[in-house]
Amino acid sequence: MILRAIIIAMKEESQSLGEFNKGINVLDSKNILIITGIGKVNAAIEMTKAIMNYQISEVINIGFAGSIKKHHVYDAVLVNRAIQHDVDLTAFGYEKYQLPEMPIEYRSNEQLLKKMSNLFSFKHDLLYSGDKFITSINHEDGLYDMEGAALYQVCYISKVPIISIKIVSDIIGDSSNDFGSFNIVKGSRIISDILKKIIGG
């Protein structure tokens, strides 16, 4: 059975879709929803389990992310590239953000990017992922989460098409727009509306 995998980190992000458990949840005959838990290792484990146990045609990662400068809270943004910002093996001759035998950055699948761009008029941006919640602006401009680039790495190795859509939950370095003031229920409704359009399309 060929399935689309929808990947979300936290139950709170999917609450407007219904009640789901951590791990793999079957939505219908064409879609599964995977709640990975927070962090790169959790994301990679659940993504790998799905690819090993199902025939995955494509991966849609969706969830909350912080932003530096470019966007506003509740904006939906299409990810065109993903980087692991907490990787630094420059002491061994690698480029910053690069793991051995891996690219510096992982690119969203071109066909999925085109498909989503036709469905939505979202801006595009670069996603940085790492096992640290970013609150200061001494980082590169872009989006920041704790799972996305790990999913991209697994899909790169497994040759599975992937794209990510991020809902801006906070403006990094702006205390008036921090994650504490973000309305998670509103954010989850945005996620639900986007996914209903993708699944319906």
- β-pair partners for 165: 62, 78
Rounded average pLDDT over 11-31: 93
pTM for this one?
0.94
Rounded average pLDDT over 128-140: 84
Rounded average pLDDT over 155-159: 97
Please give the radius of gyration of the chain, using alpha carbons only, rounded to the nearest integer: 16
- β-pair partners for 167: 64, 76
Domain ranges (residues) in the chain: 2-200
pLDDT tens-place string over residues 2-13: 799 999 999 999
In the predicted structure, residue 129 carries a pLDDT above the cut 70 = yes
Q: How confident is the model at residue 176 (pLDDT cuts 50, 70, 90)?
A: low
Task: Tell me what pLDDT residue 111 has.
Answer: 97
CB 177 within 8 A of CB 201: no
Phi/psi of residue 128, nearest 5 degrees: -110, 135
State the CATH class of domain 2-200. alpha beta
| Alpha-carbon span 201 to 187, nearest angstrom | 21
Rounded average pLDDT over 89-105: 94
Rounded average pLDDT over 140-169: 96
Rounded average pLDDT over 158-167: 98
pLDDT above 70 covers a percentage of the chain that reads: 98
CB 83 within 8 A of CB 92: no
Task: Tell me what pLDDT residue 201 has.
Answer: 59
